[in-house]
Amino acid sequence: MPDFVDVRTGVYFDSVSLMQVSQTVKRTPGISDALIGMGTPLNLELMVSTGFAVPDEAGPNDLVVALRGEDDAALDAGRSGLDAALAELRSAASRSADLTGDSPALTIGSAAQRTDANLAVISVPGEYAAVDSLDAIRANCSVMLFSDNVDVAAEVALKDAAAAADVLVMGPDCGTAVVSGAALGFANRVRAGRFGVVAASGTGAQQVMCLLEAAGEGVSHVLGTGGRDLSAEVGGRSAAQALRALAADESTERVIVVSKPADPGVLAELERLAADLGVPVTWAALGPGLPDLTCAVEQALRLADAPVPEWPSKLAEAGAPAAGPLRGLFCGGTLADEAMVIAAEALGPIPSNIPLAGAPRISGQETVDGHAVLDFGADEMTQGRAHPMIDPSLRLERIRAESRTAGVLLLDLVLGYGSHPDPAPELAAAIRDARAQAAAAGRELPVVVSVIGAAGDPQGMEHTVSALHRAGASVFSSNARAVRHALELLAHRAPADIPQAGAAGASAGSVGSPPGASEGAPGGSATATPLETFVTPRPEPTGAAPLRGLLADEPVVVSAGVSLFAEALAEQAVAVTEVPWQPPAGDVEALVRVLADPRREQANAIALERMLAAGADLVALRPASECLGLRPGEFLHAGPPLEWARASGPMRGALAGAAVFEGLADSLPEAEEKLAAGDFTFEPCHSRDAVGPMAGVVSPSMWMFELRDPAHDTTAYCSLNEGLGKVLRYGANNDEVLTRLRWMRDVLGPVLAEAVAAHGPIDIRAYISQMVQMGDEGHNRNRSATLMFLRDVVPHIARSGRDPDDIAEVCRFIGANDHFALNLVMPACKLATLAARGVPGSTLVTTMARNGTDFGIQVSGTGDTWYTGPAQVAEGLFLGSFGPDDANPDIGDSAITETAGVGGFAMATAPAIVRLVGGGVPFALRTTRRMYEITLGEHPAHQIPILEFRGVPTGIDVTKVLRTGVLPQINTGMAGRVAGVGQVGAGLVNPPEECFTEAIRSLADAVEAPSFRTSEAPSAAEPVG
Amino acid sequence: MDHIAVLSPPPLRPAAASVLAPDWLHRSGEATVLAALPRAVYLHAGEWSEVLCVLDADALRLPNSVVVPSVGIGTGRPVSTGLIPGDAVTVSAGRIELPSARLEVRRTFRPASIRVGAAVGIDGEAVRALRAELRPGLPGLADAAADVLAALDTPGSTDGLAASTRALVGRGPGLTPSGDDVLAGVLLGLRAAGRIRASATLAEAVAAHLRATTSLSASLLRAAGDGWCLPEVRALLDGLRSGGAVPGSTTSGSPVAHSLKLLDRIGHSSGHDLATGLLAVLTADRGRPSTASAPIRSAHHRERTLHA
């Protein structure tokens, strides 16, 4: 097979780029081998061993190309491919690339910080909602929590946390709000005005808003509280906060509180609060014996000295009296409730799929006889389909079906943001059909519709009302009026408004007396004349605005979950950032437990601070027997604990080689036997505060770098780097390896020990700060630090008085090995992570390490416990003829660099590294930016110039990894599967997810408080205090 | 309008208008470009002080503005693309036709404002410390502010007030002259101190001289008379009230340093000039709440609220 070997002087590309070029050329059909590299002795050796004839004059500054093809044609193709690839490398350098490498915020908290948001809209599935809500609260955002299926305990915990942070939780199950002119969720476009609304009911709030609009008034803000807020368990926590905020809000003069029947004790508390705040409140709480929502609004208008209008309506032509049952088909649950409350007066308890107390329950799917009111938004009706306000098809079917049996059809139609963009035509058609079918059977079927909408709604109020009216329906803007009209049509006298609106101010449910007080006293007397209660003027608001100014400021929103919320906000010119949400990995309950742990934030802050403050001074070199107490027969290795039976090729090769090196066996097979038999013991380097690259095997005679952290008075250790090619750490263990190890023991170690002693402590942390500004990331690129070290020790080595040949060899050895400083960077990073170890409640990752079989992590809050999963095989480029099948799973303690924020995390500062897996500079930038999403902070000293000197992302947070699905990015060398082969390539790898999912369970177990209650929340004891 | 090569019609972008937007925004006609800046366009039509600032998302949030929020990660083209001062821009019923985008007002918002009595509880030390570090755009501004305050405190001194006001309106270079910024600061300071009547008197005196300054500055002076301001100014007061600790802030450094950072964001020297006027009131008065019974909401304040 023909060969081609070429030497090109003065062509410089770094080895990583060249690896990529050779990969490209190797893929050319007919090319069986392609080795392209600078003419370093190692590269030339590789070429020679592959059978190429390399010219003698090739040197390290020359580009050497060796190609082998099946025939001449293939070889020519290979050469053209090579030229093209080299040209591409050159031009990519000169092309101005997109240097933003932007990466979106992956969590609510991260997005909130970037945009200075004050409000988060969360509509993710209920079981995950607490995770994102807590994140929002910690980022000082109020929350509109649309999600339902959030349990009471979680709701209380969230609201306590919110109160402590002075933000508001609107929800769970809150779909309607208006904050500073921005309509959130399902809300109508109502003019700005002087009424504030606190609502435990969405459609209830919408009815109230729309009536106010129709009366010529408007709303300042509509604050949702979630449907359960006014229950005894939740105690009105959000309602109280909302009341306080509205009382302090300049544009709010009066408040209407809307809810379904609520706990009397809670209402009484709120009543007291309202009186203290001096803000006039009208209570619109639905329930038997209580006024309907329209009545409550009329009351509020009267108290505000505003005229009460004739609520707009459009009656259909009067037909024959109706005969048959009332059939209410509703989309809004509260509107259905209101209908049942009013109708029950005349018709008795109404069967329903959401029956009031004492009424029979029926299924929404079944056909019924007699009166019925159905809520099509109830859970059973929305399985596998959207809410009827968005997807009306189920109700439309039912309308047509009812033509046979219904006496009067009573419907609601809720317009506004979030609802179906134009429901009128289809609804009108269904109404028309139903009436026509009834007429065909000789019956009159009156249809009564309440349209809850405002003139400015996107659907077009006029258009909607006309369409329905033309179809033969009577249309009302007030749901209560609609219900009464329906009852009249059934030839029943409309029950008196309870209480009658005309009564001179004294009425149950009026301002100043909670509805509960008047239960059992229909048309009852007020406990106080309403107007008197508010002679005390509202105190001038002083101090900072409540809820961090939520009601005074522009809303700046972050959103996770259903896109339509973010879209609707963007349509309203509200600044909104949507977060690409995905369900968190692992046990969600454990995650929530850990997130709610009151210790966590401060624990992480402490752990991070210590990590960032840790120094690293090289103070000495000593043999492992001395500084690590390693005895004969004892060895250390990289990664988590390992048994011989499960050890991979390189690990076994390294251990066997070390045993022979120590003289404990005469041959490698003997060494392996003894190791398998358990004659020797081996444990993780980490167990003795040491680290080792690749197999990382340490034996008693090996010299160790000893580094000390002056800030925390701790020490970490690492062996000396043997160089590239056939080395022990890759599992090679032939004579060459052993000879070198002996030389390192007898010459290198002692010489360096003396030099370092003579020099004094060397600041390795400062090396790292400099190297990241020189295009090195500390894991796969260490040349600059190696040369910095050489610069520091050479004068002392030269003066050592040792044999000149030894001196020369030591200097040459260090200088020729670009990775020599890796063994200084690693223990420096180890010191940083050691400083953060053992802070109870902290979720910061303190170790990432691999032993060639398993990947293990340790977390600050759980000390030395290992969480392991299978080590992955890296993806990248291969040397020579190697391929993925030749690679061993991930191995080495060098991932300690990423754990401390450099290595793969600092890829943006070492863009050349990206040529390992294709992609360009933007990929490097994006990767580092992504790592910011899973870390707790940034390093003050290790800064990345191209990111405008932003500190490297430091302090991996287990909870953020699980929430974002982003695993830490590691750059690594690849060892050959077979012991002794050496390095086969380099690439990118991640830890397995299992490490983190295991860790979160353990962290959850370690959370102290058994329940969710946050002990620091001041309002924990007093819900409305 | 100068034509620029447009390959496709400019995109429709929702925008939010402040309640202070001039009425002509909702009618049909043309507005003139006063200035086209990197992140803002100032438009003028109608009365001298009826200026509308069209702002990109990250621009300084002037109170009489229409704001165009950013879209996802990108921000779209800057609003000032393709415009130079003197260009005419078509406005009709809440829509503004710019070369870079067709803006449509979808929402109104209330800009930042100073609450009456907001200076209650303010830390006198913090005020004095900050005052010592101010760098006003012209010499003698603090004295001029003091003159205005003295005139306000002297009953019946209409001439004195007119003179001291006239000495400031339009004084200094730039789109918002330093003298105007000081006056705006005094107006806001009076409001913060609860001195509503004094504030109204001064506003009236200033109104007589609005034609002596740029349209933009005139519009900002009117806004200041009603208590509307930049978010940075309100944040400044909040910071002073809490003794310099800014809620939710992660910046380390002295409270004065933080206040100065806020002021440096406002124009070339406008922030410091504003603060000169504001603090002149507070150091004279130190946030004593008004003894006169001032309603929490003045009549024209409510007017602003309802006409959203």
Q: pLDDT tens digits for A267-298?
A: 999 999 999 998 899 999 888 888 899 999 99
What are residue A398's phi and psi, to 5 degrees? -65, -35
User: Which of A968, A959, A967 lies closest to A897, judged by CA?
Assistant: A968
Q: How confident is the model at residue A1020 (pLDDT cuts 50, 70, 90)?
A: very low
The percent of residues in chain A predicted with pLDDT above 70, rounded, is 90
Residues B281 and B219 in one domain: yes
Write out the E strands in chain B. 12-18, 28-37, 40-44, 51-56, 65-68, 88-92, 95-97, 102-109
Is the pLDDT reported for residue A520 higher than 90? no
Residues B130 and B186 in one domain: yes
Domain boundary residue, one of B109, B133, B155: B109
Residues A54-63 have a mean pLDDT of 78
Residues B72 and B145 in one domain: no
CA pseudo-torsion sign A339, A316, A215, A535: negative
Q: Do B306 and A538 touch (CB under 8 A)?
A: no
User: Which of B171, B175, B172, B200 lies closest to B186, judged by CA?
Assistant: B200
Q: Amino acid letter at A518?
A: S
Residues B240-269 have a mean pLDDT of 72
Rounded Cα gap, residues A392 and A427, in angstroms: 8
Dihedral (Cα; A716, A720, A724, A729), 10-degree rounding: -70
- Residue A570 touches chain B, beta carbons under 8 Å: yes
Q: For residue A573, give the nearest of B69, B110, B113 by CB distance.
A: B69
Judge: domain A614-821, CATH 3.90.1710.10: yes
Is the pLDDT reported for residue A631 higher than 50? yes
| Min Cα separation A548/chain B (Å) | 8
Starting at the earlier edge strand, list the strands of the sheet with A970-975: A875-878, A983-989, A970-975
Q: Could you tell me the two tokens for A677?
A: 């038999």
Q: For residue B242, give the nearest of A182, A544, A548 by CB distance.
A: A544
Residues B5-18 have a mean pLDDT of 79
List the 98-127 stretch of A: residues with Cβ below 8 A of B: 102, 104
Rounded Cα gap, residues A776 and A783, in angstroms: 7
Residues A311-323 have a mean pLDDT of 85
Chain A residues inside the 8 Å CB shell of B120: 542-543
Q: Which residues contact A379 (CB under 8 A, 6 or more apart)?
A: none
Residues B145 and B281 in one domain: yes
Q: Give the homologous superfamily in CATH for domain A313-500.
A: Succinyl-CoA synthetase domains (3.40.50.261)
Which one of B62, B104, B106, B191 would you mutate to disrupt binding with A, by most A Cβ within 10 Å of its Cβ?
A: B106
- Residue A542 touches chain B, beta carbons under 8 Å: yes
Residues A645-655 have a mean pLDDT of 96
Q: Do A572 and B106 touch (CB under 8 A)?
A: yes
Model pLDDT for residues A870-925, shown as the tens digit of each residue: 999 998 888 888 988 999 999 999 999 999 999 999 999 999 887 764 457 888 89
Residue of B nearest to A575 (CA): B69
Q: Which residues contact A760 (CB under 8 A, 6 or more apart)?
A: none
Rounded Cα gap, residues B230 and B213, in angstroms: 20
The percent of residues in chain A predicted with pLDDT above 90, rounded, is 66
SS3 content of chain B, % helix, strand, coil (to 5): 40, 15, 45
Chain A residues inside the 8 Å CB shell of B237: none
Rounded Cα gap, residues A344 and A585, in angstroms: 49
Domain boundary residue, one of B77, B109, B141: B109
Residues A318-340 have a mean pLDDT of 89
Predicted local confidence at residue B7, as pLDDT: 57
Residue of B nearest to A251 (CA): B305
Q: Do B71 and A570 touch (CB under 8 A)?
A: yes
Give the number of other CB atoms < 10 A from CB of residue A666: 9
Residues B172 and B25 in one domain: no
Whether residue B153 lies inside any domain: the answer is yes
Predicted local confidence at residue B268, as pLDDT: 81
Q: How many CA atoms lie within 13 A of A1007 on its CB side?
A: 26
Residue of A nearest to B19 (CA): A192
* Run of H or E residues at A63: strand A62-69
Residue spans of alpha helices (H) in B193-287: 196-207, 215-225, 231-241, 255-264, 270-285
Q: How confident is the model at residue A17 (pLDDT cuts 50, 70, 90)?
A: low
Burial readout A617-644 (b: 16 or more C-beta within 10 A, e: otherwise): bbbbbbbbbebbebeeebbbbbbbebee
Q: Could you tell me the two tokens for A312?
A: 């707009």
Is the pLDDT reported for residue A611 higher than 90? yes
Is the pLDDT reported for residue B100 higher than 80? yes
Most confident of A97-106, A149-158, A255-264, A952-961: A952-961
**3-state DSSP assignment of residue B30:** strand
ipTM value: 0.76
Predicted local confidence at residue A534, as pLDDT: 38
CA pseudo-torsion sign A582, A588, A591, A593: positive
Is the pLDDT reported for residue A68 higher than 80? yes
- Residue B249 touches chain A, beta carbons under 8 Å: no
Residue spans of alpha helices (H) in A732-821: 735-743, 749-759, 764-771, 783-798, 804-816
Is the pLDDT reported for residue A413 higher than 80? yes
Predicted local confidence at residue A524, as pLDDT: 35
CA pseudo-torsion sign A789, A790, A791, A797: positive
Residue of B nearest to A195 (CA): B306
- Residue B132 touches chain A, beta carbons under 8 Å: no
A725: left (phi > 0), else alpha (psi -120 to 50), else beta? left
User: Which of B166, B179, B146, B137 lies closest to B279, judged by CA?
Assistant: B146
Mean residue pLDDT of chain A comes to 88
* Run of H or E residues at A259: strand A254-259
> Is the bond leading into A172 cis (omega within 30 degrees of zero)?
yes
Q: Do A250 and B297 touch (CB under 8 A)?
A: yes
Q: How many residues does chain B have?
A: 308
Rounded Cα gap, residues A165 and A604, in angstroms: 18
Rounded Cα gap, residues B104 and B8, in angstroms: 18
Residue of A nearest to B14 (CA): A573
Whether residue B195 lies inside any domain: the answer is yes
Is the pLDDT reported for residue A636 higher than 70? yes
Predicted local confidence at residue A945, as pLDDT: 95
Residues B143 and B202 in one domain: yes
Q: How confident is the model at residue B71 (pLDDT cuts 50, 70, 90)?
A: low
Is the pLDDT reported for residue A500 higher than 90? no
Chain A residues inside the 8 Å CB shell of B289: 540
Q: Which residues contact B305 (CB under 8 A, 6 or more apart)?
A: A192, A193, A194, A251, B19, B110, B297
Q: Which residues contact A853 (CB under 8 A, 6 or more apart)?
A: A639, A642, A646, A647, A648, A651, A870, A871, A889
A561: left (phi > 0), else alpha (psi -120 to 50), else beta? left
Compute CA distances A714 → A955, B202, B308, whole Å: 19, 67, 64
Q: How many residues does chain A have?
A: 1025
Whether residue B117 lies inside any domain: the answer is no
Rounded Cα gap, residues A456 and A571, in angstroms: 14
Predicted local confidence at residue B299, as pLDDT: 37
Residues A697-711 have a mean pLDDT of 97
**3-state DSSP assignment of residue A745:** helix
Using alpha carbons only, give the angle A1014, A1017, A1021 rounded to the nearest 5 degrees: 95
| Min Cα separation B62/chain A (Å) | 13
Q: Say if strands A254-259 and A281-285 run parallel, antiparallel, or are unpaired.
A: parallel
Q: Which residues contact B80 (CB under 8 A, 6 or more apart)?
A: B36, B37, B38, B39, B40, B41, B100
| Min Cα separation A170/chain B (Å) | 21
Q: Do B107 and A574 touch (CB under 8 A)?
A: yes
CA pseudo-torsion sign A658, A664, A668, A672: negative
| Min Cα separation A918/chain B (Å) | 25
Q: How confident is the model at residue A119 (pLDDT cuts 50, 70, 90)?
A: very high
Predicted local confidence at residue A14, as pLDDT: 57
Q: Return the higher-pLDDT residue of A246 and B255.
A: A246
List the 182-241 stretch of A: residues with Cβ below 8 A of B: 182, 191-194, 218
Predicted local confidence at residue A221, as pLDDT: 96
Residues B81 and B139 in one domain: no
What are residue A54's phi and psi, to 5 degrees? -100, 130
Which one of B55, B110, B230, B240 would you mutate to disrupt binding with A, by most A Cβ within 10 Å of its Cβ?
A: B110
Max Cα distance, chain A (Å): 121
A126: left (phi > 0), else alpha (psi -120 to 50), else beta? alpha
CATH top class, domain A3-94: alpha beta
Compute CA distances B253 → A510, A630, B132, B241, B246, whole Å: 52, 49, 17, 17, 11
Pick the range with the lowest mean pLDDT from A17-21, A562-566, A839-843, A847-851: A17-21
Residues A524-535 have a mean pLDDT of 33
Q: How deeply is A611 buried, as exposed, middle or buried, from its count of CB atoms within 10 A (0-12, 13-18, 19+)?
A: buried
Q: For residue B117, give the nearest of A192, A538, A540 by CB distance.
A: A540
Q: Return the higher-pLDDT residue of A553 and A14.
A: A553
Q: How confident is the model at residue B306 (pLDDT cuts 50, 70, 90)?
A: very low
Model pLDDT for residues A943-979, shown as the tens digit of each residue: 999 999 999 999 999 999 999 999 999 989 899 999 8
Whether residue B51 lies inside any domain: the answer is yes
Predicted local confidence at residue A825, as pLDDT: 98
Predicted local confidence at residue A1015, as pLDDT: 32
- Residue A544 touches chain B, beta carbons under 8 Å: yes
Chain A residues inside the 8 Å CB shell of B113: 250, 552
- Quick one: DSSP state of residue A744? I
Residue of B nearest to A116 (CA): B248
| Min Cα separation B29/chain A (Å) | 23
B94: left (phi > 0), else alpha (psi -120 to 50), else beta? left
Predicted local confidence at residue A538, as pLDDT: 58
Model pLDDT for residues B25-38, shown as the tens digit of each residue: 999 999 999 888 88
For chain A, what are the domain ranges?
A: 3-94, 108-308+530-579, 313-500, 614-821, 830-1005
Is the pLDDT reported for residue A11 higher than 70? no
> Is the bond leading into A650 cis (omega within 30 degrees of zero)?
no
Using alpha carbons only, give the angle A11, A12, A13 rounded to the nearest 5 degrees: 125
Q: How confident is the model at residue A63 (pLDDT cuts 50, 70, 90)?
A: confident
Is the pLDDT reported for residue A20 higher than 80? no
Is the pLDDT reported for residue B288 higher than 90? no
Q: Do A572 and B238 touch (CB under 8 A)?
A: no
Mean residue pLDDT of chain B comes to 83
Q: For residue B308, give the nearest of A191, A543, A548 by CB distance.
A: A191
Whether residue B37 lies inside any domain: the answer is yes
- Residue B305 touches chain A, beta carbons under 8 Å: yes
Q: For residue B69, give the nearest of A180, A548, A575 by CB distance.
A: A575
Chain B residues inside the 8 Å CB shell of A251: 110, 305
- Could you list the residue range(s) of the whole structural domain that residue B26 is in? 12-109
Domain boundary residue, one of B109, B141, B163: B109
Q: How confident is the model at residue A309 (pLDDT cuts 50, 70, 90)?
A: very high
Q: How confident is the model at residue A685 (pLDDT cuts 50, 70, 90)?
A: very high
Predicted local confidence at residue A149, as pLDDT: 85
List the 250-289 stretch of A: residues with Cβ below 8 A of B: 250-251
Residue written as token pair 């002080």 = B49
Predicted local confidence at residue A400, as pLDDT: 93
Predicted local confidence at residue A498, as pLDDT: 43
Predicted local confidence at residue A81, as pLDDT: 86
Q: Return the higher-pLDDT residue of A866 and A489.
A: A866
Q: Could you tell me the two tokens for A730?
A: 């890759």
Rounded Cα gap, residues A417 and A396, in angstroms: 21
Q: Do B308 and A181 touch (CB under 8 A)?
A: yes
Residues B170 and B73 in one domain: no
| Min Cα separation A710/chain B (Å) | 25
Q: Do B14 and A570 touch (CB under 8 A)?
A: yes
Residues B182 and B76 in one domain: no
Q: Give the homologous superfamily in CATH for domain A108-308+530-579.
A: Succinyl-CoA synthetase domains (3.40.50.261)
How many A-B residue pairs are in contact by the CB < 8 A criterion? 87
* Run of H or E residues at A207: helix A202-214
Residues B189-217 have a mean pLDDT of 92
Q: Give the homologous superfamily in CATH for domain A830-1005.
A: v583 domain like (3.90.1700.10)
Rounded Cα gap, residues A616 and A596, in angstroms: 35
Q: How confident is the model at residue A544 (pLDDT cuts 50, 70, 90)?
A: low
Residues A823-849 have a mean pLDDT of 98
- Do domains A108-308+530-579 and A313-500 share one topology? The answer is yes
Is the pLDDT reported for residue A506 higher than 50? no
Which one of A189, A540, A557, A938 would you mutate to disrupt binding with B, by most B Cβ within 10 Å of its Cβ?
A: A540
Q: Do B105 and A573 touch (CB under 8 A)?
A: yes
Residues B44 and B83 in one domain: yes
Number of domains making up chain B: 2
Give the number of other CB atoms < 10 A from CB of residue B23: 11
Rounded Cα gap, residues A787 and A826, in angstroms: 16
User: Which of B131, B6, B19, B9 lies closest to A192, judged by CA?
Assistant: B19
